Amino acid sequence: MEIITYNKISRNKKLKLLQRPVIDMTKTYRVVQPILTDIKSNGLESVLKYSKKFDGFSEKRIKVTVKEFEDSKKLVSSRFKKAVKAASNNIKKFHKLQLPKKYSVETMAGIKCSREFRAIENVGLYIPGGTAILPSTLMMLAIPAIIAGCKRLVVCSPTVKNLSNEILYVAGYLGINEFYKVGGAQAIALMAYGTNKIKKVDKIFGPGNQYVAAAKALVSIDPNGCAIDMIAGPSEVLVIADGSANPKFIAADLLSQAEHGNDSQVILCSTNKGLAEKVIKEIKVQIEKLPRKSFVEKSLENSAAIIFNKTDDAINFSNSYAPEHLILNIKSAKSYLSKIQNAGSVFIGKYSPESVGDYASGTNHSLPTYGYAKSTGGVSVEQFMKGITFQELSKEGLESISTTVIELANAEKLQAHANAVKIRLKK
Amino acid sequence: MEIITYNKISRNKKLKLLQRPVIDMTKTYRVVQPILTDIKSNGLESVLKYSKKFDGFSEKRIKVTVKEFEDSKKLVSSRFKKAVKAASNNIKKFHKLQLPKKYSVETMAGIKCSREFRAIENVGLYIPGGTAILPSTLMMLAIPAIIAGCKRLVVCSPTVKNLSNEILYVAGYLGINEFYKVGGAQAIALMAYGTNKIKKVDKIFGPGNQYVAAAKALVSIDPNGCAIDMIAGPSEVLVIADGSANPKFIAADLLSQAEHGNDSQVILCSTNKGLAEKVIKEIKVQIEKLPRKSFVEKSLENSAAIIFNKTDDAINFSNSYAPEHLILNIKSAKSYLSKIQNAGSVFIGKYSPESVGDYASGTNHSLPTYGYAKSTGGVSVEQFMKGITFQELSKEGLESISTTVIELANAEKLQAHANAVKIRLKK
């Protein structure tokens, strides 16, 4: 991990610090598109073909049975069950407050406009299963969907030998019963296009590797595909720390992000060079005991400690970078909150490690990466719903707005638009 | 316009009624991708090249000047100005109520979680200019952006000879000063990738032809592109009418939708075959006077009048179709509102033609088409913002959640995640 003094580097180097490693999806799209096209035409048969090819899955039945859900209850520890309950409760408490409220207003006398929200009926939740099993991700996606009131939750997760009992347990705990043992691009195609027997979904949520990400992107731009939550890149954390911070805590936070995968992004911003040096030393100590050390070392290669003159400069840098996770381990952290413009989730003060947000504080851990925090928030109840607008005009309301509508329709040369008003007001 | 009795047709024909004309974007993507790639590498020079090629635009300066904005004030009628003011006021009144509210909750003692909203800093608004000029679309996109608090609004609209004074006037009226005379895929590339002098935007909004739609889709799946509002298809209306409805009103509503373009979708659902017959007769009368008659005739070819036994059946059909616009011209229309699950905007009763929503009732006219109303609402203030979550734990808060976090991190074999908690609680 290199230490960089921000005001001593060139403008070009500054811009480079903001950039993520270039991801050229073109090749991945080229690999994934034929899989999607095949499944779109041939349904389950092709899903099974790719599941066998990529995951070695050779069963004919992909749907998890009631018995499998039941068995999982016996196969997970009571400590795990307790943890799921505690985490779910916090996630529910936080997300329940996101339910959007309907409203109505009379924009002019006789013109009543309103907006109401409806749950998306069919949602697909993708739970990756590659280098780690992720029961927490199932909680983070399913709980908002349930609060939104989605009628049908479809879950897909890859299965090599057996599905993780922890994931099955969480699914059962949350009342999910439509769960397919399918992963990768084939799972996304299954949900986006459906088969003879499995109805397609309206929107797909969830993280995944580059093939899953590519499949989600491609179905989202196929008019006969479906919507998706967001385009996801590698996970990231940006820590802003000052001299008051404990270097051990910061090292642990950076490592917890770095263990996600080879390509995780880890940045330390500080006004204190001495602290950065201590953090780097501490990383070298802590890294030794980590089972996922190889991932960690790889992702630390892309990482940097950047030294700023003022905390405000670090905040500005963070806003331009738009990190997925932002840790503020600084004195009077709260006074900076209003300045934070672009970030997925923010961790305030020394007792708020990122891992509490990953599991159990209550916020969602499915967050925008790769700078998408500039335009998108993390997964929320609203994303499982859509707003519908309504308008009801009385005759008087229509009369009072008629000249406005007719004038604008004329300006746009849309005669029939004007007619629809005129014909109603004809004597 | 064919009359179809719903319960007399086969299941396959029923399914077909729900389908939109197949749009195969593959070819359009193949045409548009090289344009995007070129502009991504070569910036303004290539933008100008395509503007000349496709729009015959041969100037070097693409930015609208202060003088042009000023001139437009003199060149539009005072009636038009009055209409813009009235429509804007209603749109503002309705959209102001969409500003999302921040909230905070203590999910457990010592664990404070909150969510706040921030405007997207740079937004791009595309205003089409092909077969009709659309100053109303600029109001519909810019007003929510302004209410959200977006710092920078970039507008692009194609220019063959002169830009529409109406559009320039609306831009000036709303305080927009960054306006480029560029249309088509090249405008989308300009906004998504930026140039040496024009900073890229974070999200692009707005309708457009198939090339614009393709460009938006492609930049949305390029990790170095930007977010978009939605994938748009041809405009659509579904009218549910019973024997109480005036066939002249319904004919006018269907025609006002049909005049948008060749591919507009128009559907009448009724419990009353006599009404459908009268509507078809009335269409034949009204169509004669329309300047856009050729569009109308073309889109009526794809349209149908479907006869149902009960209003509830028509509502169910509409939910499956998920129309952009839904007109309820039926007795006690309000009693059906809670049953409407999928629609962009709903027009209630006989004095609510769709054109009032297109211009001036206050609701947004930028709405999901092609069945996307199943997953997405129309453009709203929230879409110009993103939620950021925050969490702040006290030492006690961290202690109380620590076993939960550590247990779940262990289940996912993410040791460093557990460490970040343990290290903070070490004695």
Q: ipTM, 2 decimals?
A: 0.96
Q: In the A/B pair of chains, how many CB contacts fall below 8 A?
A: 439
Q: Chain B: nearest CA to A140, how far in angstroms?
A: 13
pLDDT tens string A133-167: 899 999 999 999 999 999 999 999 998 766 789 99
pLDDT tens string B63-94: 999 999 999 999 999 999 999 999 999 999 99
DSSP letters spanning A183-198 = -HHHHHHHHHH--SSS
Tokens of B35: 């344009």
B26-104+120-228 and B233-374: identical CATH topology = yes
Q: Chain A: nearest CA to B234, how far in angstroms?
A: 11
Nearest-angstrom CA–CA distance, B395 and B425 = 8
> Rounded to the nearest 5°, which phi and psi values hold at A139?
-60, -45
Residue B272 pLDDT exceeds 70: yes
Mean pLDDT of chain B: 94
Q: Which fold has domain B233-374?
A: Rossmann fold (3.40.50)
Rounded alpha-carbon distances, angstroms, from residue B128 to A57, B103, B200: 49, 38, 20
Q: Chain B: nearest CA to A294, how far in angstroms?
A: 13
Centre a 10 Å sphere on the Cβ of residue A258 and count the other Cβ atoms it contains: 30
Nearest-angstrom CA–CA distance, A166 and A72 = 7
pLDDT tens string B176-188: 999 999 999 999 9
Q: Give the A window 148-177 contacts with B, CB below 8 Å.
A: 166
**Residues of chain A with C-beta less than 8 angstroms from the C-beta of B188:** none
pTM over 0.90: yes
pLDDT tens string B121-168: 999 999 998 667 899 999 999 999 999 999 999 999 998 766 789 999
DSSP letters spanning A292-324 = THHHHHHHHHT-EEEE-SSHHHHHHHHHHH--S
**Residues of chain A with C-beta less than 8 angstroms from the C-beta of B249:** 420, 423-424
pLDDT tens string A252-268: 999 999 888 778 889 99
HEC assignment per residue over chain B:
CEEEEHHHCCHHHHHHHHCCCCCCCHHHHHHHHHHHHHHHHHCHHHHHHHHHHHHCCCCCCCECCHHHHHHHHHHCCHHHHHHHHHHHHHHHHHHHCCCCCCEEEEEECCEEEEEEEEECCEEEEECCCCCCCCHHHHHHHHHHHHHHCCCEEEEECCCCCCCCHHHHHHHHHCCCCEEECCCHHHHHHHHHHCCCCCCCCCEEECCCCHHHHHHHHHHHCCCCCCEECCCCCCCEEEEEECCCCCHHHHHHHHHHHHCCCCCCEEEEEECCHHHHHHHHHHHHHHHCCCCCHHHHHHHHHCCEEEECCCHHHHHHHHHHHCCCEEEEECCCHHHHHHHCCCCCEEEECCCCCHHHHHHCCCCCCCCCCCCHHHCCCCCCHHHHEEEEEEEEECHHHHHHHHHHHHHHHHHCCCHHHHHHHHHHHCC
Q: Chain B: nearest CA to A148, how far in angstroms?
A: 12
- What average pLDDT does this structure show over B236-247? 96
A328 touches chain B (CB under 8 A): no
The answer regarding whether domain B26-104+120-228 maps to CATH 3.40.50.1980 reads yes
Percent of chain A surpassing pLDDT 90: 86
**Residues of chain B with C-beta less than 8 angstroms from the C-beta of A256:** 414, 416-417, 419-420
Of B220, B345, B355, which has the smallest distance from its Cβ to A405's Cβ?
B355
Which of A112, A361, A370, A381 best tests the B interface by mutation, with the highest count of B CBs <10 A?
A361
HEC assignment per residue over A261-281:
CCCCEEEEEECCHHHHHHHHH
Q: What residue type is B241 in one-letter code? A: A
Q: Chain B: nearest CA to A412, how far in angstroms?
A: 5
**Closest chain A residue by Cα to residue B328:** A392
Residue spans of the domains in chain B: they are 26-104+120-228, 233-374, 395-425
Q: Which pLDDT value is given to residue B427? A: 72
Q: Is A156 helix (H, G, I), strand (E, B) or coil?
A: strand
Q: Which pLDDT value is given to residue A342? A: 98
Of B260, B292, B370, which has the smallest distance from its Cβ to A223's Cβ?
B370
Q: Which pLDDT value is given to residue A384? A: 98
Q: Which pLDDT value is given to residue A264? A: 84
Catalytic residues of B: 324-325
B296 touches chain A (CB under 8 A): yes
Low-confidence residues of chain A: pLDDT under 50: none
A311 touches chain B (CB under 8 A): no
DSSP letters spanning A388-414 = EEEEEE-HHHHHHHHHHHHHHHHHTT-
Q: At what angle do helices B26-42 and B210-220 cross, to 10 degrees?
A: 70
pLDDT tens string B35-47: 999 999 999 999 9
**A392 labelled catalytic:** no
Of B166, B259, B356, which has the smallest distance from its Cβ to A398's Cβ?
B356
Nearest-angstrom CA–CA distance, B200 and B202 = 7
Rounded alpha-carbon distances, angstroms, from residue B360 to A409, B41, B73: 11, 41, 21
A223–B23: do the CB atoms touch at under 8 Å? yes
Q: Which pLDDT value is given to residue B161? A: 66
**Which of residues A298 and B315 earns the better pLDDT score?**
B315
Q: Which pLDDT value is given to residue A146? A: 98
Q: Which pLDDT value is given to residue B121? A: 98
Residue A76 region by backbone torsions, left for phi larger than 0, else alpha for psi between -120 and 50, else beta: beta
